[in-house]
Chain A
Amino acid sequence: MSSGKGGELIPSSSELDLDRPNIEDYLPSGSSIQEPLGKLRLCDLLDISPTLTEAAGAIVDDSFTRCFKSNPPEPWNWNVYLFPLWCCGVVIRYLILFPVRVIVLTVGWIIFLSCFIPVHLLLKGHDKLQKNMERALVELICSFFVASWTGVINYHGPRPSMRPKQVFVANHTSMIDFIILEQMSSFAVIMQKHPGWVGLLQSTILESVGCIWFNRTEAKDRETVTKKLREHSQGVDNNPLLIFPEGTCVNNQYSVMFKKGAFELGCTICPIAIKYNKIFVDAFWNSRKQSFTMHLLQLMTSWAVVCDVWYLEPQNLRPDETPIEFAERVRDIISVRAGLKKVPWDGYLKYSRPSPKHRERKQQSFAESVLRRLEEN
């Protein structure tokens, strides 16, 4: 994407997918402009009601905003018997569970740092051993994190194996997705570079598992990142890559369109579906509303984080498929498994406007219908 004068993103036409699936197929107002026959009259030309209706429909409710709505569990403490129970619950969660969890996490960090720093500094020469130890330590600290939220995670399917030319993709709900998956087996992840303590973690510890950084707002970044992805996936000794093709956190009830980058690397794609149980906590990280620290604190003061992780059957690009069709097929597999509804929007529309191509398509169909009816005059 190229940057405009004010730093806003202007999608270039090569960027925005001339071969994307047709959004009109998914949108409710598919038959918006009916095909009335007969002579064109003044009222037909001036009748903007179909377009206005579509506009009003989008204002009243739209599938894109629904993807990013936090859905906290229904409050159940609304009567005189349940309220004291709920209060007890709050006391237990904040005054008993939370301190215990903080202690567990602190202990975990102490153990981790006291092993990681020596390993990192002293084993500089012994690459293989260093890598293995660092991987094991990262898995350890992730387990501590998961324990600090009382994570109850059901893993289904065969544990990921470390083979070259293999890339894992998953749906994205929060940054804890990475922690949950990393606990089981070591992945190299590609992430947006964050500020603050998260950024510090990214540049020190996560480097050791082989992570790749990108910056959404940087124009040239896309090419360098694609190159790095390709190099990493070809390497034999690297951790398998974990990619979240949605590009942004979605609320675990919908899935937005997958970016094709991961599907063009010529590797086998192993889909992973993650579904959080909302009864215990809404794990969606609404990065506009909460910082990651607040999000973690919210998790640590809930009862538990319960989720299901499914490792699904590896997929390959079929000979007659484009990478975009491949991405859609994998998105289908993951959405079906995790019970997510698919929407035809690009997650990055959170940060930018849709391509003018869509408006042009509507203009074209209007123009064609006017001209066609003129011929009949």
Chain B
Amino acid sequence: MGNSSSMLTQYDIEEVQEYCQNLFSQQEIVSLYQRFCQLDRNAKGFISADEFLSVPEFAMNPLSQMVDGLNFKDFVAFLSAFSAKASVQQKVKLIFKVYDSDGNGKVSFNDMLEVLRDLSGSFISDVQREQVLTQLLKEAGYSKDSYLTLDDFNKIFGISELKMEVEVPVD
């Protein structure tokens, strides 16, 4: 994918499709590329956090701070978890990635607290947040000092239904 070209070749599309495990059709990838070029103001090949935040609907989202610069492949990979074809495991994997901010494969108590803080803001006190989290961890068989791995997450979410779908508009 050239930096300044706004045309995807067939090779590029297939490469991206492979990267996202075929969760998007080729048409959807073309659509996503148009959207990517729209958000990437000066065609530098990636969308900066600032450019994401210039979409007001996104900036209003409590989790908007989590997104950083994304190139097109990562952009598609991120959105692939929201494809209708994605399995529950793939969705859980994305959720795990959001919690595991330092990417070390383990989610600590503090990691979970941080996300909770973004989601609830000043409407729950810090003390109460810790209390709730500790209590629920205990009920699920973990302790405050446990480090949760992706497998733990799969176990926790295993039985619940995750409604995480976004349709890519294809003209």
Contact = CB atoms under 8 A, between A and B. Distances in A.
Interface of A: 23, 27, 40-65, 69, 345, 349, 353-354, 358-360, 362-364, 366-368, 370-371, 374
B133 A58 contact: no
B116 interface: yes
B22 interface: no
A315 B148 CA distance: 62
Contacts of B44: none
A42 B95 contact: no
Contact of B164 (A53, A61, A353, A362): A53
Task: Tell me the dominant secondary structure on chain A's binding face.
Answer: helix
A63 B121 contact: no
A65 B136 contact: no
Contacts of A65: 38-39, 55
B119 A49 contact: no
B46 interface: no
Given A57-B166, A366-B123, 6 more contacts: A42-B136, A43-B156, A45-B132, A47-B162, A349-B56, A367-B123
Contacts of B121: 359-360, 363-364, 367
Nearest to B153: A46
B60 A354 contact: yes
Given A45-B133, A366-B120, A370-B120, A55 B56 contact: no
A61 B124 contact: no
A41 B140 contact: yes
Question: Chain A CB within 10 Å — which of B56, B91, B124, B142 has the most?
Answer: B56
Nearest to B163: A49
Contact of B95 (A52, A56, A349, A366): A52
Interface residues of B, number: 55
Contacts of B162: 47, 49
A58 B61 contact: yes
Contacts of B147: none
Contact of A64 (B57, B62, B63): B57
A58 B165 contact: no
Contacts of B57: 27, 54, 57-58, 62-64
Contacts of A363: 62, 119-123
Contact of A52 (B94, B132, B136): B94
B150 interface: no
Contacts of A366: 62, 119-120, 123
Question: Chain B CB within 10 Å — which of A49, A65, A69 has the most?
Answer: A49
Nearest to A59: B58
B5 interface: no
A359 B60 contact: yes
19 contacts: A27-B57, A43-B160, A45-B133, A45-B136, A46-B112, A46-B153, A48-B95, A48-B119, A51-B119, A52-B63, A56-B164, A59-B55, A62-B57, A359-B59, A359-B61, A362-B62, A363-B120, A364-B121, A370-B120
